[in-house]
Structure 1
Amino acid sequence: MTISNQLRYSFKKVLIKIFNFPAHRINKNYQQWLKTPLRPAVAKAKAGKQGFGGAGHVISIIVPVFNTPDDFLRQCIESVINQTYENWELILVDDASILPSVKNTVREYTKKDKRVKYLFRQENGNICQASNDGLAVAKGEYIGFLDHDDLLWPNALYEVIKILNQKPHVQFIYTDEDKIEENTGKHVDPFFKPDWSPELLRSVNYINHFTVIKKELISKTGNFRVGYEGAQDWDLYLRVIQLLEKTGFCHPLNPKNPIQHISKILYSWRKSRSSTASRSGAKDKQHAYINQKKVLEDDIKVRNCNGEVTPTKYLGIWNVKYKIKGNPLVSIIIPTKDQYPYISKCLESLIDKSVYRNYELVIVDTGSSDKRVWQLYENIKRKHEKTKMLRWNGEFNFSEVCNYGVKKAHGDYLLLLNNDTEIIEPKWIDYLLGFAQQLLVGAVGAKLLYPNGRIQHAGIIFDPKNKINGLTLPDHAYKCRFNNIDYGLDNPRLYSMNNYLAVTGACLMIDRKKYTNVGGFDGQFQIAFNDVDLCLRLFKKGYFNVCIPDPILIHHESVSVKKLADSSRNSKFFEKELSILHNKWQNNINNDPFTSHNYWKIYHL
């Protein structure tokens, strides 16, 4: 049941790749995939012109220009002129370019098409000032942003207008994107983005291009902030979304969600040596990373949170470590039976290494016969005063065992922990608790490793090709990849905060009130998918489930109840519970907002 799953995302100042297979395979599959969707999409857009081609919302596209190579600038402008939706204006803001070809080309196109307009700044300022000048003269109800050497696909504005017509409440739209190789002009590196993912956006600017925002909303934020160059788009997105979160419910399941993701590639980012789409370009813009940290720190303050923005090994990927509010009691609930080598390591590592001390241990024993285990419990009670030893005498049912432990626990926060885990990060409770205290966060999961250093869990995914009896099987993202190997830019999502539909119950923290609000674990799931079901109920309630990379634990995985392939484990229960899961959550499983359906199409070519 092992699968590889990596999304791939990029952002303005550094090329980010997160696919779980080599880049050459990505691009080979992408070339094959391009042959089918591109022409039909454009043809459909042209046919749609008859419906609203020259009517409807005006979209103002702002392009700050500075010393752009002439052929790149012409291609950029032509990509707008060739849009199948016609009601737009293109505002070219030249930031005092030295190259004479820039002004000549701009004037040439303004004579050809009255929708092309220009501003010539008298002195060089920066991208924020140039963009704000464009905003000041823009007449469109919606604003799109385009870099001076990049391209829009012919159906880009058509797709945007189609969404605005279908969903007039939408105020913020973003699309998927790819890259263009400088020498060959070949389209490569597709980035199929997730739908609105708040934790990911506060870790990396995954939204990037192509973005269209209601002008009124941008004006309320005060436009681009000078001094945030290199991170100005990320800064704007976060400030706009802060406003949207105050006035509406931004969630993928909300039919009135003001944030809309168009799951189509509609923008191509040029990989020139001077562009940040290339690695060499990214290295020249260290100031961008300084400003990125400032952007995220500002976001934390505006949200009335207290946290530290910390860098990762990848420039441009950040994590937030939220400071704990107060000193709440955390109840760590551990169902267990025998398996002395594992439970002893779990409990001893927890007590010896955990920095956060206000926790109680709630051990629910489901029938141990090993005398060493019972002696271990006595020793643990002497080492940690807040320890409860409970006996479960009924038939094994993981969900009911956990619910029983919760009932006997006193903590405001619940931490469900498997008996075959081992703590290796001293601040694991602190990191989990900081997220669990966030208002819109449901379940918080952790990165788990096998003893050999390979990844066991980093979020739960639903590969449509990974089935049992025709039913999609939940599985772990990045499973069996090494955590400590540097894959270059192929695996940075392993170091960022991520939203998933579900995280594993092997290590899961949740606010007790939220757990109670959704009814705890469902007893129908006796041995499997209880965590997935819990997380999906949280998601349905409007919470976001999070997997964070900091609290790394070792997970020996299923040593108590064995693995599915073992004869001692009742596979009939497993298959029955998978069927129950699909009966309850078929639509969510088939439409995972955090993993694009187009990603899977390319993965399985």
Structure 2
Amino acid sequence: MSLKSFLKNNRHTKLLYTGLASWKNDGIRMTLARMRMRKHRILNEKEYMKNYLPSKEQLEKERRTVFDKDITFSIIVPLYNTPVGFLREMIQSVQAQTYSKWELCLADGSDDQHPEVRQVCERFAANDSRIRYQKLEKNYGIPGNTNACLKMATGNFITLFDHDDMLHPSALFENMKAITEQGADFIYTDEMVFEGSIANTVLIHFKPDFSIDTLRGHNYICHLTSFSKELQEKVGYFSEDYNGSQDYDMILRLTEQAQKIVHIPKVMYFWRRHSGSVASDVSVKPYCMVSAKKALADHLEREGLKGEVVDSSILSTYKINYEIEGTPLISIIIANKDHIDDLDKCLKSIFEKTTYPNYEIIIVENNSEVKETFSYYERMEREHDCVHVVKWDGIFNYSAINNFGVKHSEGDYILLLNNDMEVITENWLEEMLMFVQRKDVGIAGAKLYYPDNTIQHAGIIVGIGGSAGHAHKGFPRSDGGYIHRLTIAQDLSGVTGACLMTKRSVWDEVGGLDEENFVVAFNDVDFCLRVREAGYLVVFTPYAELYHYESKSRGYEDTPEKQKRFDRERTRLRKRWAKILEEGDPYYNPNFTLDREDFSLRDR
């Protein structure tokens, strides 16, 4: 197949699911090289799915497994005019489960022109007592038909399943393991989209572990979802108020109340793409987006958060503009040694573009040698009341210099900022502050670009390269990233100290940057991980954008001495955070490679 044919045949899937298309209204296009890479990725996913089924021996071992809990799964499937071929495959995929304690609850709202749906279901039910079928008086819509299924359910756990999709034979077995081994009351898995047959993989969605801000950006949890009957009874039934996004609303309500959310990083669900399905094109059901925004708004109200839900840049993704309380002082800490041209560009962009009214800039002068530097400082302090220069006399230590700057600042919020930055987004401070003001958030970071409009930073992933790397590094600025991740706010393990906002209270709680162990490298990663360890979230927002004029080739390895220091600090990071390196970054699926920053698959 030619590249042109490939793009034509897969355009909607890329646009709506992976955000792989970088055009806007068909105007901007990706480079041919980038698209070839994306085509290669999907071909790799097809190769991955060739081995999606366990061996016969493994399947038999699963069937013989005895668990220490007696759990029955009620698989909920609302039916409406289901094509009988899809219907049979759906039911057969349930019957193929290696864990046999299940009931399949089918509530049929099909019209009189589709009697074959009832005929097929009744034949299956006659031969398998675990299949329960009810013909509804009329079609009550997806929420109503699903509620009819729920009223039929007698199991301990509820599993949501669409009438035209298929389950992996180990789906319930893996769910059962999550319940017995981890005490899960809410479970979700990875999924793949196929067209025609399962062998024709369109894409695979490898998901992060539970991430509330990612969930508020779009319903990344989706399929397969299971939850305890007790949890469902606590939150109630599906609501017709969210028709088209009733699952999104239910997932938000369930995760608000769940005690143990477990993500199974395996493809356990096969989502069929066909004409008229959301998997083909979400624009076929535009009312879904209206319902989704209502579900999010109601979720915020339940959580005691004030904010406005708006559409993001890709269909079916959302942005929340959290209400900012007051205008607290933000202290911007900038370390500087000479490099006045860089610093001047940075400061001018702040003065000319920043809409937030209350900030101070603490320039930490560290051992400048050029006379003009000090003349520049004097001019800045004279012309701008918000600028204050403090002098650091010690040897270069990035962590100590920033800690020193924070001690000389007065803001309730602290922003670490490199001197080689240029503000793009006028409300960049508001976009980060709205997150850091939340009680559950300790840090917010921004989206940074190289001068050539490729991504320098979109959050930090722990484990890449044996230590940590930047997500989507080198991607075009207009790219949506893997499954929209360049277009929505999300929880991550870390963000770069080149532009990092935090509360002063959190800074003090964890002791600022570690100036003893991380003089130059990994101090930001370590700080973020300590903040997460203290129980706070770290949020990356793509809505605060800046240029970072860091050279792509510059690093810490340009002299033997610097290389040794870098290696020492990397070793310390690995030792201190050995557990997360061993278990894997919770916001980065273990199926992805640790050799690159492009969300490509791990070599097998």
Deviation at 1:54, TM superposition (A): 11
1:124 partnered with 2:139: yes
Instruction: Provide the secondary structure at the position in 1 that maps to 2:248.
Output: helix
1:483 partnered with 2:468: no
Report what 1:5 is aligned to.
none
1:529 partnered with 2:522: yes
1:563 partnered with 2:551: no
Report what 1:91 is aligned to.
105
Deviation at 1:558, TM superposition (A): 6.5
**1:460-481, Cα deviation, whole Å (9 max, x unpaired):** 12455x3xxxxx1422111112
Write the distance in 1 (CA, Å) between the matches of 2:483 and 2:161.
27
Residues 517-556 of structure 1: matches in 2 within 5 Å?
517-523=509-515, 524-556=517-549
CA contact (8 A) 1:13 1:277 kept: no
Tell me the number of residue pairs that the alignment of Structure 1 and Structure 2 aligns: 570
CA contact (8 A) 2:74 2:157 kept: yes
Structure 1 260/53 Cα, relative in aligned 2: closer, same or farther at 3 Å?
Answer: closer
Instruction: Provide the secondary structure at the position in 2 that maps to 1:501.
Output: coil
Residues 228-239 of structure 1: matches in 2 within 5 Å?
228-239=242-253
CA contact (8 A) 1:503 1:547 kept: yes
Residues 32-431 of structure 1: matches in 2 within 5 Å?
32-36=47-51, 38-40=53-55, 43-52=57-66, 56-97=70-111, 98-168=113-183, 170-182=184-196, 185-244=199-258, 248=259, 258-279=260-281, 282-431=282-431
**1:217-257, Cα deviation, whole Å (9 max, x unpaired):** 1122221111211111111111112223xxx5xxxxxxxxx
Specify which structure has the bigger relative contact order, considering alpha-carbon pairs within 8 angstroms and separated by 6 or more residues: 1
Write the distance in 2 (CA, Å) between the matches of 1:400 and 1:492.
37
State, as a whole percentage, how many aligned pairs show the same letter: 37
Write the distance in 1 (CA, Å) between the matches of 2:500 and 2:601.
32
Deviation at 1:344, TM superposition (A): 0.5
Structure 1 592/43 Cα, relative in aligned 2: closer, same or farther at 3 Å?
Answer: farther
Report what 1:252 is aligned to.
none
CA contact (8 A) 1:221 1:240 kept: yes
CA contact (8 A) 2:19 2:314 kept: no
Structure 1 557/509 Cα, relative in aligned 2: closer, same or farther at 3 Å?
Answer: same
Instruction: Provide the secondary structure at the position in 1 that maps to 2:486.
Output: helix
Write the distance in 2 (CA, Å) between the matches of 1:272 and 1:235.
24
Write the distance in 1 (CA, Å) between the matches of 2:178 and 2:555.
46
Write the distance in 2 (CA, Å) between the matches of 1:291 and 1:145.
19
CA contact (8 A) 1:13 1:288 kept: no
Which amino acid is the alignment partner of residue 240 of structure 1? L
Alignment partner of 1:494 out of 475, 486, 492: 486
Which amino acid is the alignment partner of residue 539 of structure 2? V
**Gap runs ≥5 in structure 1:** 1-10, 249-257, 467-471
Report what 1:474 is aligned to.
468
**Gap runs ≥5 in structure 2:** 1-11, 21-33, 594-599
TM-score (norm 2): 0.90
Structure 1 602/480 Cα, relative in aligned 2: closer, same or farther at 3 Å?
Answer: closer
Structure 1 162/70 Cα, relative in aligned 2: closer, same or farther at 3 Å?
Answer: same
Instruction: Provide the secondary structure at the position in 1 that maps to 2:54.
Output: helix
CA contact (8 A) 1:12 1:276 kept: no
Report what 1:253 is aligned to.
none
**1:509-532, Cα deviation, whole Å (9 max, x unpaired):** 001111111111001111110000
Which amino acid is the alignment partner of residue 480 of structure 1? G
Instruction: Provide the secondary structure at the position in 2 that maps to 1:494.
Output: coil
Which amino acid is the alignment partner of residue 393 of structure 1? D
The RMSD of aligned alpha carbons is 2.4
Deviation at 1:183, TM superposition (A): 6.2
Deviation at 1:493, TM superposition (A): 1.5
Deviation at 1:413, TM superposition (A): 0.7
CA contact (8 A) 1:152 1:266 kept: yes
Instruction: Provide the secondary structure at the position in 1 that maps to 2:150.
Output: helix
Write the distance in 1 (CA, Å) between the matches of 2:573 and 2:120.
59
CA contact (8 A) 1:367 1:392 kept: yes
Report what 1:602 is aligned to.
601
Instruction: Provide the secondary structure at the position in 2 that maps to 1:532.
Output: helix
Instruction: Provide the secondary structure at the position in 2 that maps to 1:227.
Output: helix
Write the distance in 2 (CA, Å) between the matches of 1:148 and 1:183.
16
